[in-house]
A and B are shown apart, each in its own frame.
Chain A
Amino acid sequence: MSRQARLASAFFAAVLFAAPAPAQEARTQERAAMVAGIEAHVRLAPQAVKNGVIGPAVLQAMRTIPRHEFVPETVRPHAYEDRPLPIGYGQTISQPFIVALMTDLLDVAPGDKVLEIGTGSGYQAAVLSSLAERVYSIEIMLELGNRAGEVLRRLGFANVETKIADGYYGWPAKGPLDAIVVTAAASHIPPPLLEQLKPGGRMVIPIGGPFSAQQLMLVEKKSSGGITTRQLLPVQFVPFTGGTGQR
């Protein structure tokens, strides 16, 4: 399936299942406003993204996917605000700006296979599904994984495969992978995940507690197999005030 076809299918699924027409239109406007907010946010912190802009395909996916479907009823009125929201079970759905940033950093191309550790709400997998050939997503918590899997199926994200399992070992049968996103907290990066990443592949890990706008860590596996990490702050705050601090 081409990227356009997947975007279209996601869009139609959203239209069919989500809400009556006027509400739908309101949601479309909210999504457009959300994406405009992300773009404004990026202008304030251009250092966090390549070339200072988020890829148009990522923004288009976020303009299309019904984020409100992925959050509990109680927080739906806030679904398109640029902030993290609680989704139950001690988990949160990331701030839209962070989702955009993480997706952009993964640099997903058509035909790519992407693994997500920590399905959570399922929204990140949905955004990735619009850009990648296949998305594999692993969740450790049964209730959360089942709920996200059900939403993804209902909305027609057919190229997303989910399972309930221990993310430490990745999904060896689906490797090697072009990109991996680890949204579940870990004290260290599991070696099996690094093994399953293709040379030239990228891994993104948000660092920080729930409700914090996270730091992002980009892990790159070079073609030689060597690995580097890059810490990115989504905020433009330079701790030096100049003068002697710069020496």
Chain B
Amino acid sequence: MSRATLAAVAIVSAAILAYQVLLMRLFSIVSWHHFAYMIISIALLGFGASGTTLALAQRKLLPHFRAVFAASAALFAVMAIASFAAAIRLPFNPLAIVWDARQLFWLTLIYALLVLPFFFGGGAIGLAFSRYRQEISRLYAFDLVGAGIGALGVVGVLFLLSPTATLRVISALGLLAAALVLLPDVVRRRFRLAATGLCLAAVVVLWLPSSLISLHRHVSEYKGLAMALRVPGAHIIEERSSPLGLISVVESPTIPFRHAPGLSLNNTVEPPLQLGVFTDAEAISTITRFEGDLKRLSYLDFTTSALPYHLLGNPTVLILGASGGEQVLLALYHGARQIDAVELNPQVLNLVVGKYADFAGGIYGRPEVELHIGEARSFVKRTDDRYHLIQIPLLYSFGATAAGTQSLHENYTYTVEAIGDYLNHLQPDGLLSITLWLKLPPRDMLKLVATAVEALTEHAITDPGARLALIRSWKTATLIVKNGVFTATEIAKLKDFATGRSFDLDYYPGIRAEEVDRYNILERPYFFEAAAALVGPHATEYIESYKFAIAPATDDRPYFYDFFKWHSLPELLSLRTQGAADMLDMGYLVLFATLIQAALLSLLLILAPLAIRRRRFGGTAPKARTSAYFVALGLAFLFIEIAYIQRFILFLGHPLYAVAVVLTSFLVFAGGGSGLAPRLDRALRTRHQERRLGALEVAVAGISGVAVLHFLGLPPLFAALIALPDSVKIIVSLALIAPLAFLMGMPFPLGIARIGRESPDLVPWAWCINGCASVIGAILATLLAIQFGFAVLVMMAITLYLTTPLTLRMNEPAQ
């Protein structure tokens, strides 16, 4: 096998992985991310389909390896752009899926289109596996290292280039890989011509007309940005792109934004001029014009978030999620003496500090304001300061939460451990204030109350109810958790604040039933009843009997926005067209539907070659055990990878860093393990022939040992090292993951090598099984993590790994 071929395999592998990550970005902009997940998961089964095709046609294809590989890689390059360009032009509207069965047809068509690039890309790699099965370990190592570089590289490239420009680069990479594989044969005239043509095509791809893949034209017309831009005079004045999202700043001079969610009906002041800041064409936040006149901000005092300022005098404040600066303005309005503003997305802060600093009145440059870029929990873990007030404002747009799109997202801001951390950083009698959208029937606020009660209980507080207060406007609700017991004076101030703004009191220590539901009246006093039950002795029974999942979120199961309960599903589905569609947690259901689809398609792809060419595979290999081996590997690898990505989010401080660092280290170090596996296997088998101990047994024992060690050791280690600089934490993460990933890279090539020796026709089939299991593994891992937590997920992965020596050993011919 030539170096050029190895490099071509690595490049195709990098391009495929980069394409997968990029598609998630692209679809999050034009549509909504949970449908993006569904589309990409299914499209990945193109790998499986390519394995099946190769299993059927490899004898015809293998003699023309270079030409077929080059054609596959080139078709990947072409289809990477063409499939996406076609898919965004289809009239698919995920919002109408409840009402309109035709949407399923469009969705299927999108699947069909996006399978193609993965089919051709996977086909190229699968072909190389079949052609060079004797050198499988080296090839697999290049495949994994390439994938790792692709995963990390695309994140880096997205900081420099727009998503559509990145798509062109990926396509060009596919064409270059095609040219590269022809190099060893370039003395042949037609190969020379083809290689030159492919290189030229790669250059042409970079200059494709932008209208072909322009995102703006194809953003769903129901997304916030598209709607805002329809207002006369509204236009985009700035755009910033990064892997964290596409930020669009919109100016609407004719009809101002006037964004002030849940403002009291007693307010009479119109909000000042604002710039709308959209992330991925949705999730509006604003930059408010501030010219130094605090009176112009008086409307902010008519939001539920203003409550804590009426209970404290000139506090020191920590704002977790500062965004465009609205909460900083509120703190300034109330004379906060020190404000630490934390924001995850540096691009949003750069806008307020840089280009629009004058518009925003230089709020982030004021002496009492200090800016911090980072994730909320990480910041709190790092700082030694204690505050009078920790303020967590509305984090997501109403539309997104209403549609249940966050249910699949881990969220470490609202967990039992998080609230414990916040309490540890409050001054005595300090306040934690969390504002959420008002959702009916109540879900997230009840989960937050349950989570706060649990956190207080874990802090050895015997009467959590004495430290909680909950108020509500017609659109938002604010929960206050006090680091101390509420006094009679504070309760009187709380009542004054709420009454003066027509906000409802849902809970405070000593609240009476006749005080609730006075201004914003519900069918029944849901929030009062629930809060009273959740602070009482029968909270557990209440949580169990509630029709949505409102049990406290924890760091092990940080799915705050998941409210799904299976036993409520039939009732909600039967009522879906009568108003229950909004109550369905679409994220969870979409994920489940994706799992079913993926499982059925995988079964088809795995069984099809057997059904069609039973004769050919009728040799020595027992299919069920071969399948079990590769299914177990696919599932277990993904279970561990996903659990580790989640586990490292807190430590690395950003989901993006966690994905990039964990994914890359798993792929690259697994590549290393793969390269070493056959030598280790030979050495061990020579030494321990009588015990039949090979590299697989050692790898599996090692994986189990390291995973258990991590399970016990990582939480205290993370707590001790979290204050280190990011660069050091990345190195620590790589060092921690390396041994595990190295061992996890061994079983696949060992299995492939074994069946390559015994039944070569089965190699692409095994590749297909492993690909399918990986797709199912990714979906199943998320579902299992939501249901049981990460610890259980890792334990399941260990169990799966422990079965592999048995299945492979049973495949061995009698010696």
Contacts and interface: CB of A to CB of B under 8 A. Distances in A.
Interface of A: 41, 44-45, 47, 82-84, 86, 89-90, 95, 97, 140-142, 166, 168, 185, 187-191, 194, 207-215, 217, 219, 227-245, 247
B577 A213 contact: yes
26 contacts: A47-B523, A89-B221, A141-B231, A142-B232, A189-B263, A208-B582, A209-B402, A211-B98, A215-B440, A219-B265, A227-B519, A228-B519, A229-B474, A229-B520, A230-B521, A231-B523, A233-B440, A235-B579, A237-B572, A238-B547, A239-B441, A239-B546, A241-B545, A244-B541, A244-B545, A245-B546
B788 interface: no
Nearest to A245: B545
Nearest to B261: A187
B548 A188 contact: no
Nearest to A97: B578
Given A45-B579, A141-B230, A240-B546, 15 more contacts: A187-B475, A188-B262, A189-B265, A191-B268, A191-B269, A211-B93, A211-B98, A212-B403, A227-B266, A234-B578, A234-B579, A237-B441, A237-B547, A241-B545, A243-B541
A97 B267 CA distance: 33
Interface stretch (B131-139, B152-160, B252-260, B647-655): B252-260
Nearest to A189: B265
B571 interface: yes
A45 B577 CA distance: 12
Contacts, number: 170
A170 B600 CA distance: 55
Interface in B228-286: 230-232, 254-255, 258-263, 265-270
Contact of A211 (B96, B441, B571, B583): B96
Contact of A90 (B221, B399, B522): B221
A90 B519 contact: no
A185 to B, nearest CB: 8
Contacts of A142: 232
B698 interface: no
B486 interface: no
A82 B519 contact: no
B227 interface: yes
Nearest to A47: B523
Which of B255, B529, B578, B582: most chain A CB closer than 10 A?
Answer: B578
A83 B93 CA distance: 15
Contacts of B519: 227-229
A191 B269 CA distance: 8
A208 B403 CA distance: 9
Given A228-B520, A240-B546, A244-B541, A213 B440 contact: no
Interface string B536-554: 1010011001111000000
Interface string B414-440: 000000000000000000000000001
B222 interface: yes
A240 B545 contact: yes
Contact of A245 (B255, B259, B266, B542): B542
Contact of A86 (B96, B260, B536): B96
A233 B545 contact: no
A206 to B, nearest CB: 11
Nearest to B220: A90
A178 B97 CA distance: 37
B403 A83 contact: no
A83 B577 contact: yes
Nearest to B299: A188
B53 interface: no
A89 B577 contact: no
Contacts of A188: 258, 260-263, 267, 475
A90 B95 contact: no
B436 to A, nearest CB: 15
B40 to A, nearest CB: 23
Interface in B469-528: 474-475, 502, 518-523, 526
A187 B538 CA distance: 37
A229 B476 CA distance: 13
B575 interface: yes
A166 B547 contact: no
A228 B254 CA distance: 31
Contacts of A209: 95, 222, 399, 402-403, 582
List the 6 closest pairs (A to B, CB-CB), nearest first: A235-B579, A188-B263, A244-B541, A90-B221, A213-B579, A239-B441
Q: From DSSP, what is the main secondary structure of chain A's interface residues?
A: loop
Nearest to A211: B95
A213 B581 contact: yes
A41 B96 contact: no
B618 interface: no
A90 B281 CA distance: 13
A187 B258 CA distance: 8
Contact of A237 (B260, B529, B583): B583
A138 to B, nearest CB: 11
A191 B267 CA distance: 7
Nearest to A187: B261
Interface in B209-234: 221-222, 226-227, 230-232
B292 interface: no
A210 B282 CA distance: 14
A194 B264 CA distance: 12
Interface in B716-759: none
Contacts of B254: 166
A212 B269 CA distance: 31
B263 A187 contact: yes
B265 A194 contact: yes
A47 B524 CA distance: 11
B706 interface: no
Given A86-B96, A90-B226, A142-B232, A187 B579 contact: no
B579 A233 contact: yes
Which of A84, A140, A213, A239: most chain B CB closer than 10 A?
Answer: A239
B207 interface: no
Contact of A239 (B222, B226, B255, B526): B526
A179 to B, nearest CB: 17
Given A187-B261, A234-B578, A245-B533, A228 B521 contact: yes
A151 B517 CA distance: 42
Contact of A232 (B263, B523, B575): B523
B580 interface: yes
A147 to B, nearest CB: 14
A128 to B, nearest CB: 22
A139 B100 CA distance: 27
Contacts of B474: 189, 217, 229, 231
B442 interface: yes
A106 B520 CA distance: 17
A211 B541 contact: no
B480 to A, nearest CB: 22
Interface in B683-719: none
B566 interface: no
Interface in B100-126: 100
Given A44-B578, A141-B230, A235-B575, A247 B442 contact: no
A213 B231 contact: no
A99 B345 CA distance: 41
Given A228-B520, A229-B474, A235 B546 contact: no
Contacts of B536: 247
Given A208-B402, A227-B502, A244 B579 contact: no
Nearest to B226: A90
Contacts of B521: 228-231
A208 B502 CA distance: 22
B533 A168 contact: no
Nearest to A239: B441
A99 to B, nearest CB: 14
Contacts of A241: 545-547
B238 to A, nearest CB: 22
A41 B578 contact: yes
B709 to A, nearest CB: 42
Contacts of A236: 575, 578
Contacts of B263: 187-189
